[in-house]
């Protein structure tokens, strides 16, 4: 029997996996940002290393605060005066990495990948600074300014990547960046290529050149039109891919062998406060049937679309894994 790690590699490389890869079983996560101070103030808010304020308390995740009082970039044409907190020169500090190093070293590397986890991604970083609607408008109205900001974001990402590889020595990377909604990408593919492709190629190449064997990109959105760019970036697994909006079975048939896909079990549909074993089973079995998992073992990993090995509501992640195993047992 293959280890979880070996089975994952057989799946994504088109080899001979001996079972379905079940969600995140082959990965052990290490959140790879010791620079940010996650301490909350009295109102349940935090400020990150770029000076972006987030509301955390009462939210399913941290939500950027984009009222004019808290927004970092209020006018993209004046970004140089407004972006005053840039986290350069702070990553290569052995002391801050020690707790994360201990966490990484405790992982059984024969059984699981050490998965460094980085979020937000570079597009998300841009609109965390400038608010999503204004950021998308700036791609049209202030392209030169956006390119300059992206240069800085890329430089910081590369500094972080260098420190991650130096201190954690991961063999897998999970990198977050939502590139659309459930219906479409936020921009035309050509615009994505103009503003973001080169940055991602630089950053992902650095990781691949420094020990990362499996590169996972998370975007729990529609993103079918961006798959060729993911392949060009060096992405091994697109995690979070939505099932029917992306016609995921067709993507696996078209691109399997160049990239693998992980997701398909819609977190919005099954990860709810009133979930039941029956409702989770319905969602899992629907995805497994749609993907033809009675016969498919390669290039697809059934998984919640959420971008971490957790669920919003306790017990859902474990129930999904149980249902995947039961489905496989029933279809042997």
By residue range, what is the domain housing residue 206?
27-265
pLDDT number for residue 45: 97
| 107, part of any domain | yes
| 127, part of any domain | yes
pTM for this prediction = 0.97
Rounded Cα–Cα distance for residues 136 and 193 (Å) = 14
User: In the chain, how many domains are there?
Assistant: 1
- What does the pLDDT look like over 200-217, one tens digit per residue? 999 999 999 999 999 999
Q: What parts of the chain have a pLDDT lower than 50?
A: none
pLDDT number for residue 59: 87
Q: What is the CATH number of the domain that holds 75?
A: 3.20.20.210
DSSP E strand stretches across 7-122: 27-31, 45-47, 53-55, 63-64, 113-118
Strand order of the β-sheet with 53-55 is: 45-47, 53-55, 63-64
Kindly state the DSSP code that residue 221 receives in the 8-state scheme: S
- What does the pLDDT look like over 242-258, one tens digit per residue? 999 999 999 999 999 99
| 274, part of any domain | no
pLDDT number for residue 119: 95
Evaluate whether 148 touches 79 at the Cβ level (below 8 Å): yes
| 6, part of any domain | no
Reading the block at residue 206, the tokens are 């650095």
| 243, part of any domain | yes
């Amino acid at each position: 029997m293959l280890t979880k790690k070996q089975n994952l590699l057989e799946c994504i490389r088109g080899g001979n996996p001996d079972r379905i890869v079940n969600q995140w079983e082959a990965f052990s996560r290490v959140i790879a940002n010791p620079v940010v101070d996650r301490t909350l103030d009295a109102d349940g808010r935090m400020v990150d290393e770029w000076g972006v304020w987030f509301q955390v308390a009462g939210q399913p995740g941290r939500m950027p605060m984009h009222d004019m009082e808290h927004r970092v970039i209020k006018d993209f044409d004046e970004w140089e005066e407004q972006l005053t907190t840039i986290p350069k020169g702070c990553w290569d500090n052995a002391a801050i990495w020690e707790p994360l190093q201990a966490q990484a070293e405790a992982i059984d590397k024969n059984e699981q990948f050490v998965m460094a986890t980085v979020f937000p991604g570079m597009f998300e970083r841009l609109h965390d600074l400038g608010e999503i609607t204004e950021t998308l408008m700036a791609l049209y109205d202030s392209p030169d300014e956006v390119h300059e900001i992206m240069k800085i974001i890329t430089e910081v990402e590369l500094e972080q990547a260098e420190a991650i590889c130096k201190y954690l020595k991961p063999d897998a990377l999970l990198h977050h960046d939502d590139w659309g909604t459930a219906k479409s990408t936020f921009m035309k593919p050509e615009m994505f290529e103009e503003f973001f492709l080169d940055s991602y190629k630089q950053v992902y190449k650095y990781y691949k050149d420094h020990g990362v064997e499996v590169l996972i990109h998370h975007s729990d959105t529609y993103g079918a039109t961006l798959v060729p760019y993911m392949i060009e970036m060096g992405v091994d697994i697109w995690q979070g891919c939505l099932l029917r909006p992306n016609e995921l079975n067709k993507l696996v048939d078209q691109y399997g062998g160049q990239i693998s896909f992980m997701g398909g079990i819609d977190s919005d549909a099954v990860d709810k406060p009133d979930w039941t074993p029956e409702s989770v089973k319905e969602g899992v079995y629907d995805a497994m049937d749609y993907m033809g998992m009675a016969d498919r073992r390669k290039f697809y990993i059934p998984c919640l679309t959420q971008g971490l090995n957790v669920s919003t509501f306790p017990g859902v992640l474990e129930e999904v894994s149980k249902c995947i195993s039961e489905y496989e047992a029933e279809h042997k």
